[in-house]
Structure 1
Amino acid sequence: MQDACARPVNYLRISVTDRCNLACIYCNPISPSPRLRHEDILRFEEILVIARAALEIGIRKIRITGGEPLVRKGIFPFLKKLGSLPGLERLAITTNGILLPSSLDRLQDAGVHQINISLDTLDPETFFRITGKDAFHEVWTGIEEALARKSFIIKLNAVALRNVNEKDFSALASLALNNNISVRFIEEMPIGHHHHADHRPVLVQEIQDSIGALGSLTPLPSDQLDGPARKFTFPGAKGEIGFIPALSRHFCHTCNRLRLTADGRLRPCLLSDISHDIKGPLRHGAGKKEIQNIFISCLRHKGAEHIFHPDSEGQVDTAMARIGG
């Protein structure tokens, strides 16, 4: 598949729930909207129908997100069915890590290739400030156990928050020194009217300056199924450092993604409220070809670039927990 700008699109992110067992300050809006009703959320059987149709027209990588996907009942049998679909080359999941220690066997059995874990700090007190829960040690245990298995591609996602976790950047980046892991720093995005007091984002150049003592960064090539991170390594490192400059340096020209929300809407861009209903037609009997046409229509509305920059006052109204990142 190609969008209107001739960019290849081979990556679908699917949110399976808007529920989460954390309350991160960059994810939850100031005035949260009511949680989706169960009947408003796509059933796993419906997601499999959509995924099968998408794989037939060019999707090769699927990432499962939330909310927190591991809190949804039935997630592991669903992942196993999803992982067995023809044409799927990489199955990934994004999690906050709280339930990871008890989930690794089932994730491995389901055929998950890649686990992205949200970790914004290595300090338990800062973790509590960001997430609202004293659960750093559970997350860290899950990371250590996942790394020990050597069965997954492991990536850590750290959202850069001014006056919150800036002091942690160097320690987080150092994890890539002795571990085969990718540590990715993400510029905070204007989504969902979140309540982080100082909305001025920490930009990638500031992050790079703060980890400069680790050594000079050497760029690494990306493969066709990668996400938006610009990848680097530094001297002696076993792992990688990644930067996602959503505001300071748009990566829109390389965007290869569509997003399916928990309530069944297909979004061509994270930083836009444009979406296409796919649940409604599906529940009214739409066949595979009609579903695929919705994907094609969505691609036509995938803009050349988003409108936000570091000084933007605007916001994407939909909360991140509902979009799935």
Structure 2
Amino acid sequence: MGGLSDRFGRIARDLRISLTTACSLRCTYCMPAEGLPVIPRDELLSASEVARLVGIAVHRLGLTEVRFTGGEPLTRGDLVEVVRRSAEAAPGIPLALTTNGIGLDRRAAALVDAGLTRVNVSLDTIDREHFAALSRRDRLPAVLAGIDAALAAGLTPVKVNAVLMRETLDDAPELLAWALDRDVRLRFIEQMPLDADGVWTVDAMVPAQELLDVLGTRFALEPAGRDDPGAPAELWRVDGGPGTVGVIASMTRSFCAACDRTRVTAEGTVRSCLFADDETDLRGLLRSGGSDDELEAAWRRAMWGKPRGHGVDDPGYRRPVRTMGAIGG
């Protein structure tokens, strides 16, 4: 059967698997102020179920990287077990974590011992007041402590993801200076229409070019290509290098044609695209005694129907029912 392909010839290499929809922050572009509905623990994939899907993804579908997302995966008390079992199911495969960093200072070393190899920390600004307003929580020191712990634990290069928001745009040069000083890799991401409050509009979004113009008032930026052809971030060399900054222009410079991701939600459904509501239930198969052959076949069928692109510019576009916090970006 070969790799995990869709009808447009794209081959999935990267698995994003959500572990929870719970989160310790309430970022306006992701979560409603009251948070998302709590999913009962027995409806979430268990550590052993996650590991089984990781094994199928790697050994049968040819995926070469696994990333654990949320919500906030650090809210899972069994996260170390999830990582350990997954590392055992797919030895040698990079296992990454996308996190807001809160609590990472207490768990980074154990996660590395379990097999975690990389970490991305979400951080939109280092202005404490702006951070508290955007995330609805005054937790910037905890996030910074988590980043320091990741560096100390050897999870390098640590990547930092910053969502481009109008209210923190002026903070971007200071955030880049901070990242360069600590040798972390900063990636700015255009906001997508996946916010829980449903207020996203094209006109309100900060486009990548506007960010580059703002950064250009302090730094000299030169195009530096991409880490690899399938990588979503366009890189820019800062002040002649070696430091770089990445820009993921999901909306204005769509990279859907090169998308190599497949996603599994916290409830165990395959979601072929962030912007497509179609989901295929794997948890039911797992818990009803389904074989690896059956799970593989269901996963392949789900990905074959992956849409060509996010379709935001299409006249008939409709926002996905699930928000970013429920999908696991």
TM-score by length of structure 2 reads 0.91
Q: Structure 1 residue 263: deviation in Å?
A: 0.8
Question: Please, which of 295, 317, 321 is the counterpart of residue 321 of structure 2?
Answer: 317
| Alignment pair present for 1:172 and 2:138 | no
CA offsets 1:217-261 (integer angstroms, 9 cap, x no match)? 23233237x642222222244432111111111110110001100
Kindly report which structure 2 residues correspond to 1:54-203, keeping only aligned pairs within 5 A, or say none.
54-56=57-59, 57-86=61-90, 88-162=92-166, 164-194=167-197, 200-203=204-207
| Distance change in 2, residues 1:136/1:242 (3 Å) | same
Distance in structure 2 (CA, Å) of the matches to 1:85 and 1:197: 40
| Distance change in 2, residues 1:271/1:31 (3 Å) | farther
Distance in structure 2 (CA, Å) of the matches to 1:296 and 1:131: 37
Contact 1:264 1:277 in 2 (8 A): yes
> In structure 1, what is the equivalent of residue 56 of structure 2?
53
> In structure 2, what is the equivalent of residue 206 of structure 1?
210
- What letter is aligned with 1:272? A
SS in 1 for 2:77: coil
Contact 1:218 1:234 in 2 (8 A): no
Contact 2:65 2:94 in 1 (8 A): yes
Question: Please, which of 306, 312, 318 is the counterpart of residue 308 of structure 1?
Answer: 312
Higher mean displacement: 119-128 or 107-116: 107-116
Count of matched residue positions in the alignment of Structure 1 and Structure 2 = 323
| Alignment pair present for 1:290 and 2:294 | yes
Percent sequence identity is: 33
Contact 1:22 1:131 in 2 (8 A): yes
Distance in structure 2 (CA, Å) of the matches to 1:84 and 1:216: 42
Q: Structure 1 residue 279: deviation in Å?
A: 0.9
| Distance change in 2, residues 1:272/1:301 (3 Å) | same
Distance in structure 2 (CA, Å) of the matches to 1:292 and 1:239: 41
- What letter is aligned with 1:6? G
| Distance change in 2, residues 1:9/1:26 (3 Å) | same
Kindly report which structure 2 residues correspond to 1:223-234, keeping only aligned pairs within 5 A, or say none.
223=228, 227-234=231-238
Long gaps (5+) in structure 1: none
Question: Please, which of 268, 276, 280 is the counterpart of residue 276 of structure 1?
Answer: 280
> In structure 2, what is the equivalent of residue 8 of structure 1?
11
Q: Structure 1 residue 31: deviation in Å?
A: 7.9
RMSD: 2.3
> In structure 2, what is the equivalent of residue 222 of structure 1?
227
Contact 1:193 1:317 in 2 (8 A): no
- What letter is aligned with 1:21? S
Contact 2:221 2:236 in 1 (8 A): no
Distance in structure 1 (CA, Å) of the matches to 2:104 and 2:151: 12
| Distance change in 2, residues 1:270/1:73 (3 Å) | same
CA offsets 1:185-204 (integer angstroms, 9 cap, x no match)? 11111114426587721010
| Distance change in 2, residues 1:196/1:103 (3 Å) | farther
Q: Structure 1 residue 36: deviation in Å?
A: 1.2
4+ long deviations beyond 6 Å:
310-313
SS in 1 for 2:12: coil
Q: Structure 1 residue 205: deviation in Å?
A: 0.6
Distance in structure 2 (CA, Å) of the matches to 1:194 and 1:69: 22
